[in-house]
Amino acid sequence: MRVVSLTAEDDFEGWRDHARALAAARVSPGAVVWQVGDEPVDLFGDEAVLGGSAGQLRVPRRFVELAREAILHSDPERFALLYTLLTRAMADSHVM
């Protein structure tokens, strides 16, 4: 299990950077725990470390626009749901 700690509730750039690296490494959405702050949510999780280059990930522009808005929602699962949608959009551009 990988644990991603974001700096703030609306940390789109942090989510985006981690999501790119995780997607490039083909990490399953079910293998990632997203949290805000440093307090551990999963005691047995490994901290997700950003690798070198995540390369170019191609997703529809509309996905990025929606993700920026969705990050502002209060649902604690929004980061995980967006990452799941990202991996699906990468596999099938018609998802959006």
* C-beta separation of 2 from 31 below 8 A: yes
pLDDT at residue 64 is higher than 80: yes
Mean model confidence pLDDT for the chain: 85
pTM equals 0.81
Is the predicted pLDDT of residue 5 greater than 90, yes or no? Answer: yes
In 42-90, beta strands by DSSP E:
46-47
User: What is the rounded CA–CA span in Å between residue 86 and residue 62?
Assistant: 11
Rounded Cα distance between 39 and 61, Å, is 33
